[in-house]
Amino acid sequence: MLFSRGVDHPPPEAEDDPHAHWPERLVRLGQTLGAAGSRERREALGEFWGILHLALLRYARAHARRIGRLSPDDVLDIVSEKASDLIARLDLKEWDPGASTPALLRSFLSTTARNGVVDALRAGRREVLVGDDLEPRGGRGIESATQEDAVRVDEFVRALLGCLAVLSARARRAWFLRVFYDFSSAEIARHPDVSTSPAGVDAMLARCREHVRSCMNLKGIGFGELPAGTFVRLWELTERDRAALGAGR
């Protein structure tokens, strides 16, 4: 488990949430893609790709949980394949999400993901319990409730943000990708917000770790573990506010 706090309720089944915004957004982006200039199209396509990927992942995991067992890597492969195929069909004007309705688009993506899962199972891919993938892979150093007992999360986050503020936006981004998303150095190096060599990432992260550790120690707060709730607070303050952390580009 990534966080120490007990799970009060089982995670919800991946049923369609009628209040979801992303299907409508995909339809709108589909309409934009049909009429946009090259620059707008590029921006719209980037957002479309991200949401499409998330939606297919969500459906592929749900179907895999119901109809078979696939490894997390297999699910990712299926989704990448399907997403790439859909984008290619979009380019060739063989698929027009802008002409669809949000409900139809959901149904189409769910079917697409299901077909991918079924094909993969038929092809006899390695069977591994997929339910594990529903829980995020372990983030580094985010574990214990003892920290939370000693220091209030808000205080911890404020102190952490103060320490992170000294770092460059690029270094902060690299640190965030490693600590919360467990990205490898090669993945961080490829990230558009960082864009450097894996060796450069390693050096950058070593400096970050050292700085954050000593800075937090100066503030009287140990930095061995991140209390539950830290990610959401940092995400609120950093991911949403790109000017603070993610606006390295």
Residues making contact with other proteins (CB under 8 A): 1-9, 11-12, 14-17, 19-22, 25, 46-47, 49-51, 53-55, 57-58, 76, 80, 134-137, 139, 153, 177, 180-183, 187, 189-193, 195-197, 228-229, 231-233, 235-236, 239-240
Residue whose C-alpha is closest to residue 183's, from 212, 205, 166: 205
DSSP-H helix ranges across the chain: 22-35, 38-67, 72-91, 102-122, 131-134, 146-150, 153-164, 169-179, 185-190, 198-218, 230-234
Least CB distance to other proteins at residue 141 (A): 13
Contact present, 243 and 169 (Cβ < 8 Å): no
Least CB distance to other proteins at residue 220 (A): 23
Q: Please tell me the distance from the alpha carbon of residue 181 to that of residue 118, in angstroms, as a whole number.
A: 29
For other proteins, the closer CB: 9 or 39: 9
Least CB distance to other proteins at residue 101 (A): 16
Q: Please tell me the distance from the alpha carbon of residue 114 to that of residue 67, in angstroms, as a whole number.
A: 9
Least CB distance to other proteins at residue 225 (A): 14
For other proteins, the closer CB: 136 or 222: 136
Burial of 245: CB neighbours in 10 Å, binned 0-12, 13-18, 19+: buried
For other proteins, the closer CB: 98 or 139: 139
Q: Which residues contact 36 (CB under 8 A, 6 or more apart)?
A: 44
Residue 172 CA neighbour count, 13 Å, CB half: 23
For other proteins, the closer CB: 37 or 192: 192
For other proteins, the closer CB: 182 or 207: 182
Least CB distance to other proteins at residue 51 (A): 5
For other proteins, the closer CB: 208 or 215: 208
Least CB distance to other proteins at residue 207 (A): 20
For other proteins, the closer CB: 219 or 233: 233
Concatenate the DSSP letters of all residues of 145-207 into one string.
SHHHHHS-HHHHHHHHHHHHTTS-HHHHHHHHHHHTT---HHHHHHSTTT-S-HHHHHHHHHH
Least CB distance to other proteins at residue 95 (A): 18
